Amino acid sequence: MFQEDLSRNFGFILNDVARLMRTNFDRKVRALGLTRSQWWVLNHLFRNNGATQSELADILEIEKATLGRLLDRMEQKGWIRRESHANDRRAKCVYLTEEVEPSIKAMRSAAAEMRRDALAGLSREQQEGFVDVLLAIKANLSRSENGNGARNGRTRNVS
């Protein structure tokens, strides 16, 4: 029977690293009074401010009703506002408010600190190479998800 060394399986390692990063970030932003779901939405709105609720649900990979309830609570706290879409009155665009800016700044600072901690001891070249490899893996998986597969079964060498 084949025995795989799971301690070297990059899928397990990536999952563990992602879990540790989320847990570490949760701890760093706990004082802000944010749940993981809330900081996840705020982070994606920071990158996609003005996205429709449907777009945001797709980005976050959650059900629209679940997102709607979460946005209701965030709107009550004054962190976001929803406005009708200019071309589709059924759609609502979601925007960050000025009231949440201090929390966003604190979140961004905590995230930068966490990334520095995670990459400690790696040279600048190693850090850049690591990100290049992750981007290549993401591109390969995106092509597979879209039915295109990796180019001719090969991927670009990112050494």
Per residue in 118-144, pLDDT (tens digit) is 999 999 999 999 999 999 999 999 998
Range 84-93 average pLDDT = 87
Please give the pLDDT value at position 76: 95
Residue 109 has pLDDT above 70, yes or no: yes
Please give the pLDDT value at position 150: 52
Q: At what angle do helices 36-47 and 10-29 cross, to 10 degrees?
A: 100
Please give the pLDDT value at position 85: 87
69, 57 contact by CB (below 8 A): no
Instruction: Count CA atoms within 13 Å of residue 30 on its CB side.
Output: 6
> Which residues does 130 contact at the CB level (< 8 Å), separation at least 6?
119, 122
Beta partners for 82? Answer: 94
Question: 80 in the Ramachandran plot: left (φ > 0), alpha (ψ -120 to 50) or beta?
Answer: beta
User: Tell me: domain 11-118, CATH 1.10.10.10, correct?
Assistant: yes
Measured CA to CA, the distance from residue 98 to residue 103 in angstroms comes to 10
Its pTM stands at 0.74
Q: CA 100, 62, 137, 123 torsion: positive or negative?
A: positive
- pLDDT classification of 157: cutoffs 50, 70, 90: very low
As a residue count, the chain comes to 159
Strand, coil or helix: what is 13? helix
